[in-house]
Structure 1
Amino acid sequence: MLADLEELVVCESFSADHAALARSAEVVGALGARLLGAVPETIVIDGVTHLRWTFGTPRVLLLGHHDTVWPVGSLESHPWSVADGTARGPGVLDMKAGLVQMFHALASLPSPEGVCVLVNGDEEIGSPTSRELIEEAARGCAATFVLEASANEAGALKTARKGTSRYEVVVHGKAAHAGLEPHRGINAAVEAAHQVLAIAGLGASAGAVGTTCPVLGATTITPTLMSAGSTLNTVPALARISVDVRVPTLAAQDRTDELMRALTARTPGARLTVRGGKKRPPMEPESSAELFALASRIASELGQEPLRGVAVGGASDGNFTAAAGCPTLDGLGAVGGGAHADTEHVQVARMIPRTRLLAQLVARRTSTSPSAGCPTTPTS
C-alpha cells in the first residue's frame, strides 16, 4: 500500500493543471486496473479527467478525487517520505491515501460486484465538471462512502457537513484625480467598506431561518478577499469583495442567497453587482446516521477502537450525494492531519484498519438489494 501511495503522490495533480490531471488519471487508472482487474472509463469534461469503474448493477458508490491543491513543483519542497510511522508529501492525506485504501479494500473482497467507483479531478475547486456525474451515480445507489480523510488525528468520521455558497460583490464607482478633484469621483473603496460591515452582519438575519440543526450550528457569512483601486492617486472606480458562506440547512442557504442579492449601495452614485451563489448543499446528520451505526458495529466486530462521528464546516462531494437522497458516510479515508498545509501527513499504522473497515461496509451494503442501479454501462 505504501508503494502504491508513493506512486500516486509523486505524480502531482494540481486542480488547475489539466495536463497534470491527465497524467495523474493514468496513474490512478493503472493502479485501479491492477487491483480491480478492470480498466476504468475515462471521462474528460472541459479538459478535466475523471475515472469511473462500474461493476454490475451498483448498490454502493465509492467516491474520491485525485486532484490536489498543491501546484506542480511542490514535491521539491515537500518530498515524499515515510519516517517514524508517518507518510508525507503533497496530497498524501487529501486524498491519495484514501484512494489507495479504497482500491485495496475492494481488492480484498471476493468480487467488486455491485460497486460504482468514481474518482473525479476537480473536487478541490468545487467539482464544477463532475457534479452531474456524482449526482447521477448517487441517485442509483443505496449508499455512498466518501474517501476523504478523517476529521482529526483520532480518526473521527464526518457525519455532517455544512453547505457552501460563494459570492463576489463588485462595487462600481467613478474614478477621479485624488488630489485635484476627489469630489468628482465616487469612491468604490469607501462603499466596499460599508458593504464589508453589512455582509459581516448578515449572519444573524440568515440564522433566523433554517438553523434548526444543533449539530452543524449557525450560518456563517464571512468577507474574505477585498481589492479596490488602480493607482495611488486615483479615486477607486472599482472594488471587489469575496464572501464565504457556510450553512447548516437548505433553508438557511436560500435565505442567505436572498440577503446577499438584496444588498444595496450606501454611497450616492455607487452601484453593486452580486455574482456567484450556492455551491454545495449541506450534508445533514440524518443522511449518515444509519451508515455510521453500521460502521460502528463493524469496527467493534473487527476489534477496532470505537468510532466517533463529528460535524465539520468544510464541504466535499458527499454534500452532493446526500442532497441527491443517497445515504452518505464521509471521512472514511486516511487518518492524519495538516491537509492543504506544510504539515500534511498520514498515520501509516491506521491505513490497514481503515481499509478493512471500508471493505466490510461495502460487503454489507452490496448484499442489500436497492430499488435501482447506477445508470452507467458496466465495465466488467
Structure 2
Amino acid sequence: MTSMRQAVDVNVDAMIDDLRTLVQVESPSRQLDALRKSAETVAEVIEGRLGGHAAVVDSDGGPHVHWSGGGAPRVLILGHHDTVFPLGTLELRPFRVEDGRAYGPGVFDMLGGLVQAVHGLATLTDRSGVEILVTADEEVGSHFSRALIEERALACGAVLVVEGAADGGAVKTGRKGCGTFEVSVAGRASHAGLEPAAGVNALVEAAHQVLAVAALARPEIGTTVTPTVASAGTLDNVVPAEATVVVDVRVESADEKERIESAFAALSPRLDEAVITVRGGVGRPPMPESAAAELFAVARRLLPGLEGRAVGGGSDGNFTAALGVPTLDGLGAVGGGAHADHEYLLVGSMAERANLVAGLVNVIQDSRPQAGQTSSDGTNKPPKSHT
C-alpha cells in the first residue's frame, strides 16, 4: 500500500489562495443569488486544479457543483459550500492568516476541507472513478440535495466527507441522527386581569409540553431531547392564545428515532380546549460506526496514530451511511470554532489532510470494483436538477 508519506507534496500557499477565493464569496444558506456566485466560484477552483468540467446543478435550495474524473464511479468526495453566516459577515471578519491559523467565515466548516480535497486529488495522475459533489443546503437540512447525494453515493460505492475534523484532528467515524421538532399550541386569548379563566393559556400548555418532551431524553444511550427556542404571547395583560416550542433531537439508533418520532406524534394537551400541532422529525438518520470501519482502517494505515471519534453533530454522511455505503467523515480541515466568530483552520495541517484524502482515493481506486449503479440516463452524470 502506498504510504501517505510518499505522496506528492501539495502547495500550501496555493491552497491558501484558493481558500481565500472561496471565503471571499459569501454563501449563506437560502440566499440563492449568493449561492449561485459561490457555486460558480467553487466550479472554477475545481476546474482550475483538476481540469474537466464542474457542472453547476440547479435546485430549489441553491446550486450544487458536481465534477467527475470519468470512468466507472468508485468514490465520492462529499462537501457543501453553504455557510451559516449572513451576508455582511465578511466585512466584519475578513479572511486572514495569522500565527499559523486561517480565519474567516466558513474556513473550517467547510471550505477548507473542499480546498484540501481538490489539491490532494490534483497530486494523483489517475483521477478516474472520482466524483466531487458540493451541495448548497447542508446547513439547513439538505432537503433539496439529499436525493442527489444518495444517488451518487450508491453509484460510487464509497464516500469521503470533507467536513471539519473532530478535536485533535480525529476523523468522524460515527454521527448521531438529528432532527428538529416544532410544537405549536393554540389556546384562546382573554384579559389577564379581568377574565383570566375565560382564556386558554397557550404558554402554560407549552410549559407542560416542554417538560413532557424533555423527559423523552435517554442520555445514557445517546438520546438527547433539548427544547431550544420558545415564543408566546402578545401583551403583558393578555392571556396568550399561541405558543411555539422548537426542540433539537439527537439519537444513536434507528430504534430511538422511531421511539422519539412516535412520542412526539402522541403528544396531547393538558389544558381543556388547547390544541397541539407537531411538525418535524429526525431528518438525518444515525451514522453507525460500522459504516466507517473499512475506510477508517485504511486511513489509519496511511496515517498511523489517526484517531476516530463518534460525534453528536450530523452531516450529509448520515444519509450515505444509512444506505449501507462505506462512509468516512471529518476528513476536512483541522481547526475549530464552527459556526462561531472565532472559526479557524490550522494551516500546518492542510498538506497532511490533502494527502490523506489522496491516499484514500488511491487505495479505493485500486481495490474497489464499480458499484454498478448510474443515473437514470445511463451515464455517471447527475440529472440537471433535484427539487
What is the TM-score when the length of structure 2 is the normalising length?
Answer: 0.91
Match of 1:352 in 2: 351
Match of 1:372 in 2: 372
Contact 1:169–1:241 under 8 Å retained in 2: yes
Contact 2:181–2:281 under 8 Å retained in 1: yes
Which residue among 22, 25, 33 is the counterpart of 2:39? 25
> What per-residue deviation string (whole Å, max 9, x for no partner) do you get for residues 12-38 of structure 1?
100121111000011100000111111
RMSD over aligned Cα atoms: 1.3
Match of 1:101 in 2: 116
Match of 1:214 in 2: none
Match of 1:174 in 2: 188
Shift of 1:378: 4.7
Match of 1:255 in 2: 259
> Match of 1:5, SS?
helix
Shift of 1:141: 2.0
Which residue among 192, 199, 212 is the counterpart of 2:206? 192
CA distance in 2, matches of 1:168, 1:264: 14
Q: Does 1:234 align with 2:249?
A: no
Which residue among 5, 8, 29 is the counterpart of 1:15? 29
CA distance in 2, matches of 1:73, 1:374: 41
Match of 2:142 in 1: 127
Structure 1 runs (4+) deviating above 6 angstroms are none
Shift of 1:377: 3.4
Contact 1:163–1:283 under 8 Å retained in 2: yes
> What per-residue deviation string (whole Å, max 9, x for no partner) do you get for residues 237-292 of structure 1?
11001011100011110110001111111111112111111210000010001110
Which residue among 138, 160, 184 is the counterpart of 2:174? 160
> Match of 1:351, SS?
helix
AA partner of residue 266 (structure 1): R
CA distance in 2, matches of 1:374, 1:358: 24
Farther-moved stretch of structure 1 (5-14 vs 269-278): 269-278
> Match of 2:77, SS?
strand
CA distance in 2, matches of 1:14, 1:2: 21
Shift of 1:124: 0.6
Query: What does 1:34-113 align with in structure 2 at a 5 Å threshold?
Result: 34-46=48-60, 48-54=62-68, 55-113=70-128
> What per-residue deviation string (whole Å, max 9, x for no partner) do you get for residues 129-187 of structure 1?
100000111112221000000011x1000000000121100111011111221111000
Contact 1:175–1:235 under 8 Å retained in 2: yes
Q: Does 1:309 align with 2:308?
A: yes
AA partner of residue 335 (structure 2): G
Query: What does 1:249-328 align with in structure 2 at a 5 Å threshold?
Result: 249-300=253-304, 306-328=305-327
> Match of 1:203, SS?
coil
AA partner of residue 165 (structure 1): G
CA distance in 1, matches of 2:61, 2:249: 28
CA distance in 1, matches of 2:123, 2:110: 20
> Match of 2:354, SS?
helix
CA distance in 1, matches of 2:98, 2:205: 53
> Match of 1:230, SS?
coil
Unaligned residue ranges in structure 2 (runs of 5+): 1-14, 382-387
Contact 1:35–1:107 under 8 Å retained in 2: yes
CA distance in 1, matches of 2:291, 2:374: 19
Contact 1:59–1:374 under 8 Å retained in 2: no
What is the TM-score when the length of structure 1 is the normalising length?
Answer: 0.93
> What per-residue deviation string (whole Å, max 9, x for no partner) do you get for residues 51-103 of structure 1?
11122221101000001001111012211100111100000110011110111
> What per-residue deviation string (whole Å, max 9, x for no partner) do you get for residues 98-139 of structure 1?
110111111110121001110001111111110000011111
| 1:25 to 1:275, Cα distance in 2 relative to 1, 3 A | same
Q: Does 1:332 align with 2:346?
A: no
